[in-house]
Structure 1
């Protein structure tokens, strides 16, 4: 079950965190993995891990907010079977404390970046007679998260894009779903805490961990396992759905 043999998978932001966990697992399951990251260097550790385990992997330096860069990269990759739109950035701020520059920066990566990859990927899916798209949304698209105005707005857009793409490409054998994680412990989270809560890292890590009713943050491997299922043939009857993977955050945080 859950074999990805003979599948070609593109994973944006695949060099670290959740994206890296997905790339490693997909390669283990037989996929030819193509990692898109900001630089070749940022993807190198993931590439080395996959190659050392006997997997097939390629990496590309690409800014997903640039449509020209994205189109050129996808044309280089060619026909694909799976697209994981995982690349994203965060921002702290309410609507009146979010600068225009920060709002634009989040929209460029988290919304336009997803659009650019979808735009470039559809012609490549047609060459493969269909495939699967998985977008990384967030619990922030479902509930109010304090001081996350731009990020929540962007992830709400990702969820809406998921529904639109699922509807528009049903007849072309292209499925599209999304995942909405709660907080997942990645190097990104550690860096985010260090940057925004200097001197209070341990306190904030504990607080953020306990914001999930289950009492901890998620693990990248747990997100990757759900991604594997949704991109496998076993999930062939699923499209147009979002899957919270949140330690009970949405339903149990009363």
Structure 2
């Protein structure tokens, strides 16, 4: 674990947005605009979606190159990535989970979803085999185009969801089985946005993870694509987290 850096009280953190599966950095477009209007520095990374170890290592490198404090924000699978990477660069001051996986050490996405059945995600997945130049095969997962609206973005217009389905980025199937070696929410203050109409991650699972992390939590009536359908609400909670970490007023406890 990397030693923490010291920052001047009042340093505004750079918000680093980490998307999840079946999406890309553009999924944060409305949130980015809201944060920029508030004068908060923000960047959206291109999550590789190749597995937790690979993705966390990439994110760690991105964050370590930022000169100053960082607030990590993860959506969906991106939450698992920030959970692993959170304590490694040394300049992360908080975590924001947006209908995201806040894993315990040794826990995987499948562990969480298995305890909270009812999600529409599993039956909507479409596997595809990717063959690399060396002949090695990797199984990737897409959302079936016809299931994309209901599972991912039921509160967005049809023409948008059809384009989003065609442009979706697949995730390596092994990412669902990878377990996180760390639970950085035990060390860092955390915030959570629960999407109450989410059909990909059951709202009960979201509430469980938020409560376990001792996160400052809000609930919003939105689909899994909450960053696109309700960007102002998401940005407002991120703004709260950024303001809190800027003033140094963080008081973080998590259940024993």
- TM-score normalised by structure 2 residue count: 0.42
Greater strand share, structure number = 2
- Tell me which of the two structures has the higher relative contact order, counting C-alpha pairs closer than 8 angstroms and 6 or more residues apart: 2
Higher helix fraction: Structure 1 or Structure 2? Answer: 1
TM-score normalised by the chain length of structure 1: 0.43
